[in-house]
């Protein structure tokens, strides 16, 4: 029973490290990178003035009344 805590702690520290690295990698490749690609694809062809004119025509803005 000597050094039982030290042995178990070493095992749990390595396990926790590998689980956390695995979760970080899964999040990066499963969530962050696809989200970045989706934003890049959206803003590649995004026309802010066209969107503004559509919202203006719909009456969204008080300071810019529809024409």
pLDDT of residue 27: 98
User: Structure pTM?
Assistant: 0.68
pLDDT in tens, 9-56: 999 999 999 999 999 999 999 999 999 999 999 999 999 999 999 999
Q: What domain count does the chain have? A: 1
3-state secondary structure of 8: helix
63 assigned to some structural domain: no
CATH of the domain at 18: 4.10.93.10
pLDDT at residue 66 above 90? no
67 assigned to some structural domain: no
Which DSSP string corresponds to the chain?
-TTHHHHHHHHHHHHHHHHHHHHHHHHIIIIIHHHHHHHHHHHHS--HHHHHHHHHHHT--SSS---
Rounded CA-CA distance 55/66 in Å is 9
């Amino acid at each position: 029973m000597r050094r039982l805590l030290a042995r178990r702690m070493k095992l749990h520290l390595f396990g926790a490290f590998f689980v956390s690295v695995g979760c970080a990698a899964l999040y990066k490749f499963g969530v962050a990178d696809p989200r970045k690609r989706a934003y890049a694809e959206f803003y590649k062809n995004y026309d802010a003035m066209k969107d503004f004119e559509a919202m203006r025509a719909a009456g969204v803005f008080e300071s810019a009344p529809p024409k």
